[in-house]
Amino acid sequence: MHADLVPSVHNGPLDDDIERVLIDEQTLQDRIRELGEMIETEYANKDLLLISVLKGSIVFMADLIRYIRIPHEVDFMATSSYGADVQSSGVVRILKDLNKPIEGRNVLVVEDIIDSGNTLNYLLRILRERQPASLRIVALLDKPERREVDIEVDWTGFNIPNAFVVGYGLDYNEIYRNLPYIGILKPSVYTRPEHS
Half-sphere exposure of 164 (CA within 13 A, CB side): 18
List residues bridging with 173 in a β-sheet. none
Please identify which of the residues 17, 112, 115, 142 carries the catalytic annotation.
Answer: 115
- The minimum distance between CB 123 and ligand PRP, in angstroms, equals 8
Nearer to ligand PRP by Cβ, of 82 and 190: the residue is 82
Distances (CA, A) of 1 to 81, 102, 121, 174, 185: 29, 44, 35, 21, 10
Q: Is 88 in the site for ligand PRP (CB under 6 A)?
A: yes
Report the relative pairing of strands 49-54 and 73-80 from DSSP bridges: parallel
Nearer to ligand PRP by Cβ, of 67 and 82: the residue is 82
Tell me which residue has its CB nearest to ligand PRP.
56
Tell which positions 148-187 bind ligand PRP, by CB under 6 A: 171
Contact (Cβ atoms closer than 8 angstroms) between residue 21 and residue 77: no
Q: Is 53 in the site for ligand PRP (CB under 6 A)?
A: yes
Applying CB under 6 A, the span of 14-22, 29-37, 51-59, 66-74 interacting with ligand PRP comes to 51-59
Give yes or no: 85 in active site.
no
Nearer to ligand PRP by Cβ, of 40 and 146: the residue is 146
Half-sphere exposure of 5 (CA within 13 A, CB side): 18
Tell which positions 105-134 bind ligand PRP, by CB under 6 A: 111-119
186 DSSP 8-state letter: P
- The minimum distance between CB 145 and ligand PRP, in angstroms, equals 12
Distances (CA, A) of 77 to 122, 135, 146, 149: 13, 15, 23, 21
SS3 (DSSP) at 117: coil
Applying CB under 6 A, the span of 10-18, 25-33, 79-87, 178-186 interacting with ligand PRP comes to 79-87
Residues at the interface with ligand PRP (CB under 6 A): 53-56, 79-82, 88, 111-119, 171
Could you list the active site residues?
115
